[in-house]
């Protein structure tokens, strides 16, 4: 039976990225972003931000829209040694300082932001698709 108090409000997403280890070998390492699920209004704003009309042509720029949405919904990140060193966690386990701004200023981390927002929307739309299939049966 459906209960509102059982609806998840966060999403833990993990992506494997390739780095070069101390032996100069490629290695896959997991990083995690913990995101608050966006509200319907935030989703609609994301769609507006990712679509621009230029003359008679529609342009899509999900990257820019992701960089606008992510700071509003990211709650925590894990697996980034540089972030943990530059923005040490406080007694409650929260990153300190402007770690979100650091992500938005770094081109590599901007790509991570875009990847995580894309993955989040894939997962959300996949779950909504499953709900639609179940309601049709």
Residue-wise pLDDT tens digits, 30-42? 999 999 999 999 9
Residue 41: per-residue pLDDT: 96
Low-confidence residues of the chain: pLDDT under 70: 127-137
Work out how many domains the chain is built from and give that number: 1
- Work out the number of other CB atoms within 10 angstroms of the CB of residue 102: 16
Contacts (Cβ under 8 Å, ≥6 apart) of 84: 95
What residues make up the domain containing 59? 19-123
Residue 53: per-residue pLDDT: 76
116: in domain? yes
32: in domain? yes
Model pTM score: 0.84
pLDDT in tens, 112-126: 999 999 999 999 887
Q: Which of 37, 30, 38 is nearest to 10 (CA)?
A: 37
């Amino acid at each position: 039976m459906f209960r509102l108090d059982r609806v998840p409000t966060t999403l833990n997403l993990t992506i494997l990225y390739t780095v070069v280890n101390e032996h100069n070998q490629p290695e896959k390492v997991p990083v995690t972003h913990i995101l608050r699920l966006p509200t319907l209004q935030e989703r609609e704003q994301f769609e507006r931000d990712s679509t621009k009309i230029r003359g008679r042509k529609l342009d899509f720029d999900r990257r820019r829209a992701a960089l606008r949405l992510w700071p509003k919904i990211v709650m925590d990140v894990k697996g980034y040694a540089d972030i943990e060193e530059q923005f040490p966690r406080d007694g409650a386990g929260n990153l300190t300082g402007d770690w979100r701004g650091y992500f938005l200023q770094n081109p590599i981390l901007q790509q991570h932001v875009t990847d995580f927002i894309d993955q989040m929307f894939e997962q959300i739309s996949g779950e909504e698709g499953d709900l639609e299939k179940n309601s049709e049966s």
